Amino acid sequence: DTGVSQNPRHKITKRGQNVTFRCDPISEHNRLYWYRQTLGQGPEFLTYFQNEAQLEKSRLLSDRFSAERPKGSFSTLEIQRTEQGDSAMYLCASSFLADTQYFGPGTRLTVL
């Protein structure tokens, strides 16, 4: 296993379009986290899963955002009706319970 992977690495979309990102965690990790990072800032927590259950969501995750982890392995993050303020780096991390989180390379979203 080569670590956490995210696809796509870059996404450019027009305002109002829907986008979906994918995260593949390290295979034996049961926890998966989504974070968002805007330019010049540290990442901010969005949501996390333990196995297939979504256990916590930040208030940053508006109703336009939805995340799934249907089989407890990969996860998808969908943003509907994108806005320019959604432009950011979306980071995924995984861990085994409360151990060290390993981060993916991120998906950079640009909304025009």
Residues binding other proteins (CB under 8 A): 31, 33, 35, 37, 40-45, 48, 50, 55-56, 58, 89, 91, 93, 95, 98-103, 105-106, 108
H or E segment at 76?
A: strand 75-79
Q: Which is nearer to other proteins, 79 or 109 (CB)?
A: 109
Q: Which is nearer to other proteins, 81 or 99 (CB)?
A: 99
Q: CB 103 → other proteins: shortest distance, Å? A: 4
**Rounded distance between C-alpha atoms, residue 107 and residue 69, angstroms:** 17
Q: CB 16 → other proteins: shortest distance, Å? A: 25
Q: Which is nearer to other proteins, 42 or 70 (CB)?
A: 42
Q: Which two tokens stand for residue 104?
A: 């993916």
Q: Strands of 5-7's sheet, edge to edge?
A: 5-7, 19-24, 75-79, 65-68
User: 82: phi > 0 → left, psi -120 to 50 → alpha, else beta; which?
Assistant: beta
Q: Which is nearer to other proteins, 18 or 41 (CB)?
A: 41
